[in-house]
Structures are given as C-alpha cells and as structure tokens.
Amino acid sequence: MSNETLINKDGLRIDGRKLHELRPTKIEVGVLSNADGSAYIEQGKNKILAGIYGPKEVHPKHRERPDRAILRCRYHMAPFSVDERKSPAPSRREIEISKVIREALEPAVFLEYYPRTAIDLFIEVLQAHGGTRCASLTVASLALADGGIPMRDLTAACASGKVDGKLVLDLNDIEDKKGEADVPLAYMPNLDVITLLQMDGQLTIEEFTEAINLSLEGCKQLHVLQKEALKSKYISVREGVKE
C-alpha cells in the first residue's frame, strides 16, 4: 500500500474537500416524540441524535441544587457506530466528552430559572467519523432549544486541525487519526465567546491562533444551518395556513 498523503497536489483532501471546507451537513429539529426536545445531525458520515428531558425533579434528591437546575449530560457511542464494535459500557473517553459538553452548554442555559430541577441531555452517536464531540454540541444546543429551555445563545462547534502540514477545517476520522493536530472548539455566536476548547497534537502559537479562527469560521457556518433547521420546522406550519 502506498504512503497516501492526506492532501493531494490540487490541494484537495481525501474526501474531495478544499482545506477550509465544512463536511456536507444536514440538521433536523424535533425528531423524537417522547423527548421534551430533540434534534438530529448528519455531518459527513457522522450521524448523531440528541434528546432532552426536563426540567424535572432530581433523583437522587441530594443532587438537586436550591438555586438552579443541574444539567446532566451523557455522550454515548452506539456499539455499531465505529469500525470495531465498541462495548456499550461508558469508556473514559465518553466520560470526559460528556463532561466537556456539559460544561460548554452550562453557560448558555438559564439554569437559575429552574431551581431544584434537572435537565437531562442524552447524545447518541449512531455513526462516528471524526469530530463527534463538536457535532454533538451543535445538535445538543438545538435539542435544548426545541425543548423550550431558555438559553442565552445557540452553541455551534467545529474542529480545525493540521493535516500534511496545512491547517484544515472539520477533520474527518482519518484526518484526525493521521493528522498533526486537532482543535475542537464550541462557540456562542451572538455573544462571541468560546465555551469548549481542547487541543491535541503539536502546533506553534501562530498555527494555533490560525486554527482557532478557522474553527470559528466553521462554527459561524454551522450556526446558519442551525437557524435554518429551526425555522424550517416552524415555518412550515405557518406557510400551510397562509391560504
């Protein structure tokens, strides 16, 4: 097998994208009838479903907070979501990701409006192909909005990275594994602040600064798609009645 490069001589990546191009993304809001709020995203080969329940009573009761709601988050990958079957038990990676996702969303939600309750967020990765924690955040934010949970802003997330020496946007699985760096980032566009930031690999400070700006660009594009998904769910009701 030849030593394949990840970016060819025309500047195209292994899936045909340009360096700063987002994977094709499709978002749908309100897809589950039982969950209080839900949303679904397909970003490249990623297929991720998010659902929320709450605000509701906290069990066990000693976990409740008198001054605000608690946000609980479970990021979980289905056993069939990756090439080699993944055991259903939560892995350390899933536990860490659950934590950083929760912490990214906490500043967005008006938790103080619902003391002594819990908002449970469940993220199921049905198919994974790189950048799942970012896509999960993008879809989780919509699930919360769909559930009527008041928020300061929507949250969009996107990773950038370094592949074959070049900075690229929205790494897929192969680029993530074989590339030189990965920078996942979550952003609240109207407030212009970052709520999730991680990095692994090696980057100079200048490269890192460029990577952040690239991730932010990706987030802004995803934010447009998020709003379109929200509007298309509700506008169709409106349009149907106009006659």
Partner 1 sequence: MPTFFERRQLVAPGDLLAEGNYFAGENTFKNEEKVYSTSIGLVEFQERRVFVVALKAFYVPRVEDIVIGGVTDVTIGGWIVDINSPYPALLRASDVMERSYRPQRNNLTSIFDIGDILIAKIVSYDRTRDPLLTVRESDLGKVTRGQIVGIIPSKIPRLIGKKGSMITTIKSETGCHIVIGQNGRVLVSGKTVEDEQLAIMAIQKVEEESHTSGLTNRVAELLKERSGR
Partner 2 sequence: MSMVTRIQQQQIAQLVSKGKRIDGRGLEDYRDIKVEMGVIEKAEGSARVFLGRTEVLVGVKIEVGRPFPDTPDAGVLTVNVELVPLASPRFEPGPPREEAIELARVVDRGIRESKVIKTEELCLIKGKKVLIVFVDVYVLNHDGNLIDASAIAALAALMNTKVANYEVSEEEVQVKPGYNQLPIQNYPIAVTFAKINDKLVVDPGLKEEQAMDTRITITIEKEGKICAIQKAGGGLLTTDQIVEAAKLAKKKATEVRKLVVKE
- Residues at the site binding partner 2, with contacts judged by CB under 8 A: 84, 92-93, 95-96, 98-100, 103, 106-107, 183, 188, 191-205, 208-209, 212-213, 216
Q: Which is nearer to partner 2, 4 or 192 (CB)?
A: 192
Q: Which is nearer to partner 1, 189 or 218 (CB)?
A: 189
Q: Which is nearer to partner 2, 95 or 235 (CB)?
A: 95
231-237-240-241 Cα dihedral, nearest 10 degrees: -120
Q: How far is CA 48 from CA 125, 130, 166, in A?
A: 5, 12, 28
Q: Which is nearer to partner 2, 204 or 236 (CB)?
A: 204
We find the least distance from the C-beta atom of residue 214 to partner 1, in angstroms, to be 22
User: Site mask, partner 1, residues 164-203, x = CB under 8 A?
Assistant: ------------------------xxxx------------
Distance CA 22, CA 168 (A): 9
DSSP 88: S
**DSSP-derived pairing of the beta strands 156-163 and 166-169:** antiparallel
Helix (H) or strand (E) holding 141: helix 132-146
Q: Which is nearer to partner 2, 11 or 150 (CB)?
A: 150
Instruction: Kindly report the number of other CB atoms within 10 A of residue 122's CB atom.
Output: 18
Distance CA 29, CA 145 (A): 9
Work out which of 37, 51, 179, 184 binds partner 1, going by CB under 8 A: 37
Q: Which is nearer to partner 2, 113 or 234 (CB)?
A: 113
Residues 102-141 that bind partner 1 (CB under 8 A): 108, 110, 113-117
Work out which of 54, 130, 179, 184 binds partner 1, going by CB under 8 A: 54
Please tell me whether residue 51 binds partner 1 under the rule CB under 8 A.
Answer: no
We find the least distance from the C-beta atom of residue 240 to partner 1, in angstroms, to be 9
> Which span sits near partner 1 by CB under 8 A: 5-13, 44-52, 120-128, 231-239?
231-239
Are 123 and 73 in contact, with CB atoms under 8 Å apart? Answer: yes
Q: How far is CA 237 from CA 14, 142, 143, 179, 233, in A?
A: 41, 19, 19, 45, 8
Q: How far is CA 216 from CA 5, 91, 131, 189, 192, in A?
A: 26, 29, 15, 9, 9
Q: Binding residues for partner 1, per CB under 8 A?
A: 36-37, 54-57, 66-67, 69, 108, 110, 113-117, 145-148, 150-154, 188-191, 226-227, 230-231, 234-235, 237-238, 241-242
